[in-house]
Amino acid sequence: MNRIEPTPKRLTPDLIGRFKAIVGEKYAVTDPHDIAAYVTEERMLYHGHSQLVLRPGSTPEVSAICKLANETQTPLVPQGGNTGLVGGQTPHHGEVVVSLRRMDRVRDLDPQSNTMTCESGMVLLNAQKHASEADRLFPLSLGAEGSCTIGGNLSTNAGGNTALAYGVARDLVIGLEVVLADGRVLNALSKLKKDNTGYNLHNLFIGAEGTLGIITAAVLKLFPKPRAVETAFIGLKSPKDALALLGVARAEASGAVTSFELVPEIVIEFCVRHGSGIRDPMPTRHPWYVLMELTSPAASLSETMETILSRGMEEGLVEDAVIATSLQHRRSFWDLRDFVTHSQKPEGGSIKHDVSVPVASVPEFLDKASAAVVRFMPGARVVPFGHLGDGNIHFNISQPIGADKEAFLGSWRAMNDVVHGVVAEFGGSISAEHGIGYMKRDELAHVKDPVALQLMRQLKATLDPNGILNPGKVV
């Protein structure tokens, strides 16, 4: 089967007028100056272009947009907060952007069923706030939570800092409303925990990166709000010790270990150097750090935290640790963690690898991959950090000091080959949580099981026969 390729299309004034009539003049963006914010992303790695951004306010409007696009074979790119890291939300070929940001209402919040039904343009932070106001927790949490949206989170199947305890975005959803390529609305907005009536269709759209349908609403799972929260920044010698400490933490605190984020010394250096108000969380430097958080809806956890850290010290795993003594103190730890992506920008080019390997293999993977990178490019700065508890490391490479940024970025593919080669040795994944998007589309074809790839293409052709939804992404 041939891969569906994007068809660049110049929109006629008549067609632009018909799209505008759906959302209203006020919500159709055509001024290139205003369009700029939708066609580039924060890192400025991808620069797309578009004649038209549509900002629908309701599901019927999204449906009418898809119907017209399908009839006229006009490619669309769904977009939420535009924080994606693989170019999936960028109109690389002049597609019409459909920004869901206006659709941000809570449709239903049911504390007894522990569900919240909200529209897909809701910013993640607001979803967390709505849940909190109802004395519940929506646990998904990531550095971009102030601007990414529920629709984007589900479409990328985002992971983030709490997946260790609560799972990834897919695990946090019971139902969806999705507009299909031809404009039909799939109403799978069920609040039912148990519903075995045939195929689980809504799961198809989670992690599909806008290639199979446009998510307009979701039923999210809510959880009891934590009453006890203990957060520590911990200095260690090695990832191996960090992994052993995770074992200790789980033995002592079981499911209360909500986050276990690995950070190397170079990240502390970058964050302190570039982050205004970001301070070194510990009195002295260590080769590695873990940001560990324990949470529980019931009991106090301070003794458990003390026990974990004492055992960690006795067993020679922990060099030093600082426990947050106030909400502000805890916030300062997370501010540093959330700033890691931004801290790499002023250091020049960064080549990203959002990879996962079995949790037990992380230390060995880090050793092998770091050695392979330095062999390939002496002076390259390995900046590996992230969700150790999930085996998901952001194995990012910052350019050698003083190197030419463009020349460095020119080695993107070759560097990927080096790192992903090591990932393959461990049976790992080249996309743990950010998706495939535009960035890894071609590589996917080489690493995915051929039958799986075939099925993905068949599904794409069935659900979007005219290839109007995010063409050129994923498959």
Q: Interface residues with ligand 2HG (CB under 6 A)?
A: 143, 340-341, 352, 386, 394, 396
Rule CB under 6 A: is residue 183 a binding residue for ligand FAD? Answer: no
User: If phi over 0 gives left and psi between -120 and 50 gives alpha, with beta otherwise, what is residue 120?
Assistant: alpha
Nearer to ligand 2HG, 149 or 341 (CB): 341
Measured in whole angstroms, the distance separating CA 264 from the mean position of its chain's CA atoms is 21
* Residue 352 contact, options Zn ion, ligand 2HG, ligand FAD, none, Cβ 5-8 Å cut-off depending on partner type: ligand 2HG
Nearer to ligand FAD, 87 or 235 (CB): 87
- Shortest CB 144 distance to ligand 2HG, Å: 8
- Shortest CB 145 distance to ligand FAD, Å: 8
Nearer to ligand FAD, 325 or 462 (CB): 462
DSSP string for residues in 369-434: HHHHHHHHSTT-EEEEEEEGGGTEEEEEEEPPTT--HHHHHTTHHHHHHHHHHHHHHTT-BS-SSS
| Two tokens, residue 349 | 């080019």
- Give the number of residues written for the chain: 475
Integer angstrom CA distances of residue 252 from 55, 141, 148, 163, 226: 49, 24, 34, 19, 18
Integer angstrom CA distances of residue 275 from 262, 308, 325, 405: 19, 30, 22, 21
Nearer to Zn ion, 142 or 415 (CB): 142
- Shortest CB 87 distance to ligand FAD, Å: 8
DSSP string for residues in 278-305: ---SSSS--SEEEEEEEEESSS--HHHH
Measured in whole angstroms, the distance separating CA 107 from the mean position of its chain's CA atoms is 24
- Shortest CB 407 distance to Zn ion, Å: 27
b/e 333-357 (16+ beta carbons within 10 angstroms → b): bbbbbbbbbebbeebbbbbbbbbbb
The region of 99-107, 214-222, 379-387, 449-457 touching Zn ion under the rule CB under 5 A is 379-387
Rule CB under 6 A: is residue 344 a binding residue for ligand FAD? Answer: no
- Shortest CB 146 distance to ligand FAD, Å: 9
Rule CB under 6 A: is residue 391 a binding residue for ligand FAD? Answer: no
Nearer to ligand FAD, 176 or 372 (CB): 176
Interacting positions 71-90 with ligand FAD (CB under 6 A): 77-85, 88-89
Integer angstrom CA distances of residue 238 from 264, 369, 426: 9, 15, 19
Q: How many residues bind ligand FAD (CB under 6 A)?
A: 37
Question: Alpha helix locations (H) across 163-293?
Answer: 163-166, 202-205, 239-253, 265-274
Rule CB under 6 A: is residue 151 a binding residue for ligand FAD? Answer: yes
CA–CA gap between residue 443 and residue 447 (Å, rounded)? 7
- Shortest CB 108 distance to Zn ion, Å: 30
Select from 433, 441, 466, 472 the one that contacts ligand FAD (CB under 6 A). Answer: 433
CB 249 within 8 A of CB 306: no
Interacting positions 190-209 with ligand FAD (CB under 6 A): 209
Rule CB under 6 A: is residue 50 a binding residue for ligand FAD? Answer: no
Rule CB under 6 A: is residue 437 a binding residue for ligand FAD? Answer: yes
| Two tokens, residue 101 | 């940001």
- Shortest CB 396 distance to ligand 2HG, Å: 5
Residues near ligand FAD, by CB under 6 A? 42, 77-85, 88-89, 100, 120, 142-144, 148-149, 151-153, 155-156, 158-160, 209-210, 214-215, 341, 433-434, 437, 470, 473
Residues near Zn ion, by CB under 5 A? 386
